[in-house]
Structure formats: structure tokens, C-alpha cells
Structure 1
Amino acid sequence: MKNLSIKTLFFSTLLLLVTLLLLLYVPFRTALVFYEENTASIEAFLPIKEEDTFQIVFKHSIHLTDVVEKYIVTANKDIKQYEIIYEEFGIGMPSNAEVDQEFEYIDGKYHIKDLNNVFSSINIRNGKTVSENRLFWGEQGNHMVYFNDYFEPGAWFRVEIKNLSLWQYLKGVRIHE
């Protein structure tokens, strides 16, 4: 009888530990993850789902006008850029749309729509001199944070869509309003 209860206790404890490890370390939640430079160190993350959209807005360092890049999360966890909006032509800005893209001028801004730029990751630098980069998300892009609230001016990041474990989720910095 004593031998049976030791075995039961041992297997119960083992089952509890395995369950705890699975809960902590098996990825369960998809997020837009900001990795510090070329490392696996997570600086911050934004919980996100397939087909969710987000925008990265940066201040053009020469024109000092906003440039809006719009993205959507694909089914295979890539980042697809589908639109760019800007106010001035010049360095780094496209002068027209390519084949199968739409170019419009709306309310003083140039829109290039129907982009199909798909990335497994993107590199983003938080502005150092003109540091007004912002992240928008939500159904209408109604949630917004400044990169400076989470990152040092001048820092750069690799951004990817990844599944995070509960442990990564709990120890990381969650982006929120």
C-alpha cells in the first residue's frame, strides 16, 4: 500500500511538472514582436492575430512630414505591406505606383495602394534626430503609442510575427495604450 502511494505521488508530481512546463514554454499567443537589433532578446510585443492590421508612422527626417506604412498579418505569420501614405516626393519616397498598384492623391497626401510587399521580418529604427515614430493598431487604427515610450531614440529592431509562450508573455513588455 505504501509503495502504491509513493508511485502515485511520484507520477502526480511528474504530471504536474510536465503540465506546468508545457503551459509556460509552449507558444500559445501570436504577437508582433520587437527584437533588439540582431538578437533573440524581446524588447516589446503587441498581441495580434491573423488578418489584424497595424500601421507604423514615422516622421520623414528631411521633409518633417508623416509617412504612414500600413501592414496586415498573413495566415503564415508574415507581414504584408498593403499601403503607404506620404505628403512629399523626394528621398526614400516612391514617385509613382508600380504595375497592379493604385496611386491616388487624397486630401493633400499621396496614397500607393494594393502593395503586395511580404516580409518575414522588417527592420525598424526609432528616429534619433526626429524621434516621432508611432505604432497604430486596432480596427480603425484607434490605438497608438510612440516608440519612445518603449524604445530608446536611435535604437533599431527586427520586427516579426511570432507565437509567444506564457513565460515570454509574462516576462516581456506588452505594448498597450
Structure 2
Amino acid sequence: MKKWIFIILVFLCLIAWFIPFERSIVFTETRVQKPVQHFLSLKSDNEFQLIFTHSIHLTDVEESYKVLSTNEFQLLAMKYTDVAIGMPGHAEEGQTLDYKDGVYTLQYNDAKLEKFTLHIGNVDYKLNLQHKGEIIPLKKHLIRGKSYLVTVQRLSLYDKMKGVELDD
């Protein structure tokens, strides 16, 4: 009888080890044979920001996202101070643009992304992910000059052991 209980417990532990349970933002290196996955567990807060220094303007840009229950990203807003090269100076359909105290805020009504690619430039400018008040410098965790596919996935304990946690 004890043997069967032990076998059942081992079997249940193995199942629990491989069942995806925790939603995470996953950064998967592209264009490599064996990509390394870096991840940030979302836990209860589904909103985050990418904050970077624009390489031409040398001013900060903040992109705000929300992770939806469909595991899509909803782009909420983008804040910036310069509308020259690469930054919108007007709102398009489904957007509103406000200017207050020297900051442009472009808000999106319904912009959703299933995934996106993030290139880690080989320059000494800021690229941070902010989540739950914590700032994670992505250039300290991800390889400069590489591109990463950013998705939302449910990870198992096994997946998490294979990957690299960003907020450790």
C-alpha cells in the first residue's frame, strides 16, 4: 500500500512540474539555434512600462502596456517630449494626442499586439522594464545587439527552471 501511495505522489509531482500555471512576459532570443528565454512573472499586476532613451532625441520615451486575459498586449499610451524623427506629432484614427507640461501623451483606444520584437541596441542608452514599481534594466539581462520576441505565456516550473528570471 505504501508503495502505491509513493508512486501516486511521485506521479502527481511530475504532473505539477510540467503544468503551465504562471502567466509571464517572455523574452525569447531570435535567430539562434537554442534560444534562451528570459521571463517576468506577472502575478497580480498586468500592467508594465517600457522606458527607453530615444537614440536620436536622447530623451526618454515611456510605452505603457496591459496584458489581457487573451495573452495579448494592449498598448495603452506612449509619453515623449519631442515629436521630430520617429515620434508622432498627431493622432491617427483610434488615438488621442495630448500635450501638457512639455510632455506628449499618445493614447490608444484599442491597439492590441499578439507579440512584438524588441531589439537591444548596442548603445549606452536606457532600456528599462517597469513593473509593480520595480525597474528592471533590460540591458543588464539581455544581450546587446540581439533581438527578442516578446510574448505572454503560461510557464510551468520546468519552463521557469530552464529560463532566466528578470526580477531575481
Q: Which residue of 2 aligns with 1:173?
A: 164
Contact 2:94 2:110 in 1 (8 A): no
RMSD: 2.1
Q: Greater shift after overlay, 128-137 or 24-33? A: 128-137
Structure 1 residue aligned with 2:146, among 155, 159, 166? 155
Are the aligned partners of 2:17 and 2:156 in contact in 1 as well (CA < 8 Å)? yes
Higher alpha-carbon Rg: 1
Corresponding residue of 1:69: 63
1:34-89 alpha-carbon deviations (Å, 9 max, x no partner): 11115673431111147611011111111111111110010111011010111111
SS in 1 for 2:91: coil
Q: How many residues align?
A: 167
Greater fraction strand: 2
Alpha-carbon separation, structure 2, partners of 1:19 and 1:77 = 27
Q: Quick check: 1:101–1:115 contact (8 Å CA) kept in 2?
A: yes
- Contact 2:52-2:126 within 8 A present in 1 as well: yes
Counterpart in 1 of 2:103?
A: 109
What are the residue-to-residue correspondences of 1:8-157 with 2, within 5 Å? 9=3, 11-38=4-31, 41-49=35-43, 52-138=46-132, 142-157=133-148
**TM-score, with length taken from structure 1:** 0.84
TM-score (norm 2): 0.88
State the secondary structure of the residue aligned to 2:160: helix
Shift of 1:13: 4.5
CA drift of 1:100 comes to 3.6
Structure 1's unaligned 5+ residue stretches are none
Tell me the CA shift for residue 101 of structure 1: 2.1
CA-CA distance at 1:18 after TM superposition = 2.1
Give unpaired runs (5+ residues) of structure 2.
Answer: none
Residues 85 and 129 of structure 1, relative CA distance in 2, 3 Å threshold: same
Residue 170 of structure 1, CA deviation: 2.9
SS at match of 1:149: helix
Quick one: percent identity of the two aligned structures? 28
